[in-house]
Amino acid sequence: MKKQCSECKKEMGLFSRKIKLNDGLLCADCIGLIKKVGMVDIIGRMANIQYQKVKEIYENKKALAERFEKDFQLGNMLIIDNTNQLLVIDGVLLEFKNLKDVETKYQYSESVTTNTNSKTKKGIGKSLMGGLIFGPVGAVVGGMTANGKTKSASQTTTNTFCSSAKLVLTLQNYYIAKYYIDLNVSNSELRSVGCSSIEEYGELLEAELQQIIENTKREVI
Ligand SMILES: [Zn+2]
Taking the centre of ligand 1 as the mean of its atom positions, its distance from the CA of residue 181, in whole angstroms, is 27
108 part of a folded domain: yes
Total domains, the chain: 2
Across all residues in the chain, what is the average pLDDT? 85
Taking the centre of ligand 1 as the mean of its atom positions, its distance from the CA of residue 2, in whole angstroms, is 14
pLDDT in tens, 183-220: 988 999 999 999 999 999 999 999 999 999 999 988 76
Say yes or no: 60 and 153 in one domain. Answer: no
Is the backbone of residue 194 left (phi > 0), alpha (psi -120 to 50) or beta? Answer: left
36 or 146: whose pLDDT is higher?
A: 36
83 part of a folded domain: no
Residue 112's domain comprises 97-123+131-140+149-221
Nearest alpha-carbon partner for 23 in 58, 51, 42: 51
Say yes or no: 16 and 106 in one domain. Answer: no
Enumerate residues with CB within 5 Å of ligand 1 (an ion): 5, 7-8, 10, 27, 30
31 part of a folded domain: yes
Q: Half-sphere exposure of residue 214, counting CA atoms within 13 Å on the CB side?
A: 6
Exposure string (b/e) for 32-41, b if CB count within 10 Å is 16 or more? eebeebbbbb
Taking the centre of ligand 1 as the mean of its atom positions, its distance from the CA of residue 84, in whole angstroms, is 30
| Residue range 57-85: mean pLDDT, rounded | 96
pLDDT in tens, 117-164: 655 445 444 444 444 444 444 444 444 445 555 556 788 888 888 888
Say yes or no: 27 and 136 in one domain. Answer: no
Report d(CA 39, CA 26) in Å as an integer.
Answer: 14
Taking the centre of ligand 1 as the mean of its atom positions, its distance from the CA of residue 75, in whole angstroms, is 32
Taking the centre of ligand 1 as the mean of its atom positions, its distance from the CA of residue 6, in whole angstroms, is 7
Taking the centre of ligand 1 as the mean of its atom positions, its distance from the CA of residue 150, in whole angstroms, is 72
